[in-house]
Amino acid sequence: MQGEKNLSVLPKFMSKKSNIFSFDKEIASSIGLNEAIVLQLLKTETKHSLSSLISKLSFIEDKEIHRILKKLLKLQLIVEVSSKNFCLKSKGKIEQERKQNISKGYLPSNNILKEANSLGVSEEFIKIKLPEFRAYWSDRKDKSFSWDYKFLKYLLKEWRTEEEKLNKASKMKPIQKNWKPSKEVLQILKHAEIDEKFITDALPEFILYWSERNTASDSWNSKFLNHIKNQWVRYQNLISIVKKPSRMNKDWKPSEDCFDVLSLAKINKSFALSQIPEFKLYWLETKEMRNCWNSKFIQHVKFKWKTKHGNAKNVLSRLKDHEWAVNFKN
C-alpha cells in the first residue's frame, strides 16, 4: 500500500496493472486504515452503491464495511444520496479539514456527543475533558483531518481509564479477621519449600498488622505472598548464622535481622538497643555457652517489652518462639 504522495502515479483507486491500493496516510492515522481506503474509493466516482463497495472491497468483511459507512456518516464526511448509495459530502472537504488547526473554542459535533453518550460516557465527564483536549492540541499546534474523531478517541480512552479506576476502587476492601490466602498462594509457597507451619502461624500476625492500619486493598493474596517470602528469608538468615556453642563476649552486637523481626511486633529499635547492656552483662557473668545469641536476644527483648506493657497485644507475643528462629537448641 502507498500513501497520498503516490496519487499522481495511481490516479485511480486501483492500478490497472496491479492490485496495489492507494489511500491517504494522514487520513488513515486519524480515523483508521479501512476508513481511509473507503474514502479514497468514494473519490473515484460520483457515487458508489453498497453492493459495489462490498464487491470492490472483498478483503474487508461486509459487517466491517457497514460499520465504516456508519462511522463516516456520523463524521459527516459522506452522505447517503439514495438508498444504499454513498458519495463524499462535498468536494475538497477532506483536504480542507485535514489542514485545520484546532480552534480555541472547538466544540464537538452533536453526532460525536451522541456517539459518546451511546457508549456510556457521561455529559459531565465530557465537559471536564473538553478543555484538557483543547489545551493539549492547541499547545502542540498540530493539524488534523478530523478533530471530532480525535476527541472521540481521546474521550473513550480517558473514560476507560476512569472506569478501571472506579472498578479497582470498588474492589478495595480492608482485610477481614477470618481472611485466608487462596489455594494458589499456598501452592506457590509450597513450591518455594516454605514450611507449612511457618505459613499457618504467620497468618494471625499478618491479619493483625493490616487490621490495625485499617488499610484497604484488592490484592491481599499478593501482599501475604510477599510477606511470607520476606519473613522466610529473614528466618533462614538467622538460622544460617547459628554456629558452634560459644560464650558471650563484650563486643557482641545483635544482627540487623533481630531488629527487623522485633519491628513486626512494633517493638522499636531504640527499645531493643537499650536492652543490650543488661543482656550482655547477664550472659557475661553466667559464662554459659549458646548456639545463637541473636535468638536469645530476641527472646529477652520480647520478655522485657511484654513486662513493660503488660498484656498489650502485639504481633510476636502471639507467636511461639521457634516461629521467628528464637528457639534453637542449645
Same domain, residue pair 89 and 110: no
Q: Distance between CA atoms of 267 and 259, rounded to whole angstroms? A: 8
Query: Over 50: is that where the pLDDT of 319 sits?
Result: no
pLDDT on residue 273: 93
Q: Distance between CA atoms of 188 and 176, rounded to whole angstroms? A: 22
- 294 domain-assigned: yes
Same domain, residue pair 137 and 80: no
- 271 domain-assigned: yes
Q: What percent of the chain has pLDDT over 90?
A: 6
Gyration radius from the chain CA atoms: 36
Q: Distance between CA atoms of 160 and 87, rounded to whole angstroms? A: 34
Q: Total structural domains in the chain?
A: 3
Residue 153 is part of a domain; what is its CATH number?
Answer: 1.10.8
pLDDT on residue 330: 32
> Which of 171, 202, 217 is the endpoint of a domain?
171
Same domain, residue pair 123 and 84: no
Please give the residue range of the domain that contains residue 303.
183-324
pLDDT category, 202, cuts 50, 70, 90?
confident
- 122 domain-assigned: yes
Same domain, residue pair 41 and 26: yes
85 CB burial (10 A radius; 0-12, 13-18, 19+): middle
Cell numbers representing residue 203 in the block: 497468618
Query: Over 80: is that where the pLDDT of 75 sits?
Result: no
pLDDT on residue 4: 40
pLDDT digits (tens, 9 = 90+) for 142-152: 777 678 778 88
Same domain, residue pair 191 and 316: yes
Q: How many CA atoms lie within 13 A of 206 on its CB side?
A: 24
pLDDT category, 295, cuts 50, 70, 90?
confident
Same domain, residue pair 238 and 294: yes
Cell numbers representing residue 185 in the block: 498462594
Same domain, residue pair 187 and 320: yes
pLDDT on residue 19: 64
Residue 21 is part of a domain; what is its CATH number?
Answer: 1.10.10.10
Strand order from edge to edge, sheet including 78-82: 48-49, 85-88, 78-82
> Which of 171, 197, 214 is the endpoint of a domain?
171
Same domain, residue pair 11 and 83: yes
pLDDT on residue 274: 93
Q: Distance between CA atoms of 135 and 156, rounded to whole angstroms? A: 18
> Which of 123, 145, 171 is the endpoint of a domain?
171
Q: What percent of the chain has pLDDT over 70?
A: 78
Query: Over 60: is that where the pLDDT of 103 sits?
Result: yes
- 330 domain-assigned: no
